[in-house]
Amino acid sequence: MSVIDTLKERGYLKQLSHEEEIKELLEKEKITFYIGFDPTADSLHVGHFIALMVMAHMQRAGHRPIILMGGGTGMIGDPSGKNEMRKMLTPEFIHHNVECFKKQVGRFIDLSDGKAIVADNADWLLGLNYIKFLREVGVHFSVNRMLGAECYKNRLASENGLSFFEMNYMIMQAYDFYVLHKKYNCVMELGGDDQWSNMIAGVELIRRKDRQPAFCMTNTLLTNSQGQKMGKTVGGAVWLSAEKTSPFDFYQYWRNVDDADVEKCLALLTFLPMDEVRRLGALEGSKINEAKVTLAYEVTKLVHGKEEADKAKAAAEALFGAGGDMGNAPVVEVSRAQFGSPLLDLLFDAKIIASKSEGRRLIQQNGLTVGDTKVTDVAAALSETLFEGKTEVLLRKGKKKYYRLILK
């Protein structure tokens, strides 16, 4: 089975620039391709997961990936899907995020022995001669056509409009593909379907300027059965960094997906054989929990490693009555010196809640329990009575998130 058959069977592919040519190319040759990641935060998140999985499938089939860090394009910011201009990031912030991304990508992609390339478009974008760039690259772009692209059209219709600053993003991304084609004989760009217009621009630039074949494929975005983007919680994004989303919380996110989304997530976010994916996806009633546990474990193992996946699974089983080691549940340490301080402060500092307003809503909706005490007062203070004479008590947020509150 060709890698393109694998990608189709598992549900990754959305649009292809030249479908028959791409199919023939991937069946007959080993190519170099790239996917770009703009460093807008210090961690990749679940929204990047599918692109990383596509890259991994391609590499396993013998194709060479280029992981392109957007140290240059991140200075502008992609307007796609945004109703206003992104906040401008400092060079120092971008550089830090690039270094964080590089460490995370190695969990999914084999970077040894030239099997993959990590590049940064800051190396060629930041030193461009503007006039020379306009003469050599800008001349190949039609403003009329650019304005018809979905990523620009929506912004033009909004009250915020589109800045000339942002309009350069498409040309920059196209130029990335052109440079990688020249430097590494990269012939294909992959990415999320929201990048289609930008990716096609790169394909056409290479074909017009160099008279060489170039291609692109987009992957489906990670959405639930209602068409809403997955990877968001009340506390914000689900990150691939253990410091930003703990392995336990990461595990629990996938353990709690809707029944209707389990089979799709197993196909897209694990390497389980499709026969097993279909078997698990066909389970009904309470048996679907078997599939959810498998999904949560496999995805957590990919992102955080087997040891952390084992711990998260054991903690979840302990907390929900299937036995296991309670010691693996997330720990929050407190001292007696904190007695009398607002409980909301503790929750916020420990990153159990993303904001004080979230904490107030949680309490008002009877969603916070410490030990056997249901917290009903938003002004409640941390006190010794909450520990009921013990040095450790279980804190429950909502129905399914638990933390060990330990008095030191």
**pLDDT by residue (tens digit) across 260-303?**
999 999 999 999 999 999 999 999 988 998 999 999 999 999 99
User: Which of 10, 48, 63, 313 does the annotation list as catalytic?
Assistant: 48
What is the distance between the terminal CA atoms of the chain, rounded to a whole angstrom? 57
As its CATH architecture, domain 3-219 has 3-Layer(aba) Sandwich (3.40)
Sign, CA torsion 379/384/387/392? positive
295: its two tokens: 């999904």
Count CA atoms closer than 13 A to 17's CA, side-chain side. 22
C-alpha torsion angle, residues 36, 37, 38, 39 (rounded to 10): -150
User: For the chain, what's the residue count?
Assistant: 408
Active site (annotated) includes residue 229: yes
CATH ID of 331-407, from 3.40.50.700, 3.40.50.150, 3.40.50.1100, 3.10.290.10 = 3.10.290.10
User: Which of 14, 82, 209, 279 does the annotation list as catalytic?
Assistant: 82
Secondary structure (3-state) at 215: strand
Tell me which residue has tokens 């087997």.
306
pLDDT at 324: 42
pTM of the model: 0.78
Known binder of ligand: residue 232? yes
Active site (annotated) includes residue 385: no
Q: Which one, of 270, 292, 272, lies nearest residue 283 by Cα? A: 292
Cβ atoms within 10 Å of 129's Cβ, excluding its own: 9
Active site (annotated) includes residue 173: yes
pLDDT under 70: residue ranges of the chain: 80-86, 232-236, 320-329, 372, 400
The vertex-378 CA angle with 377 and 381, nearest 5°, equals 80
Active site (annotated) includes residue 82: yes
CATH superfamily of 232-321: Tyrosyl-Transfer RNA Synthetase (1.10.240.10)
User: Which of 209, 232, 351, 360 does the annotation list as catalytic?
Assistant: 232
Active site (annotated) includes residue 233: yes
Tell me which residue has tokens 């054991």.
314
Domain boundaries, the chain: 3-219, 232-321, 331-407
User: Which of 32, 38, 45, 176 does the annotation list as catalytic?
Assistant: 45
User: Which of 73, 104, 173, 252 does the annotation list as catalytic?
Assistant: 173
Active site (annotated) includes residue 40: yes
pLDDT at 323: 42
Percentage above 90 pLDDT, the chain: 57
Active site (annotated) includes residue 338: no
User: Which of 6, 220, 233, 373 does the annotation list as catalytic?
Assistant: 233
Active site (annotated) includes residue 351: no
Strands laid side by side in the 117-120 sheet = 13-16, 215-219, 186-192, 32-37, 64-69, 117-120
Known binder of ligand: residue 178? no
Task: Let me know if 149 is exposed, middle or buried by CB neighbors in 10 A (0-12, 13-18, 19+).
Answer: middle
**pLDDT by residue (tens digit) across 320-334?**
654 444 455 678 888
Active site (annotated) includes residue 399: no
Known binder of ligand: residue 102? no
37: its two tokens: 């990641």
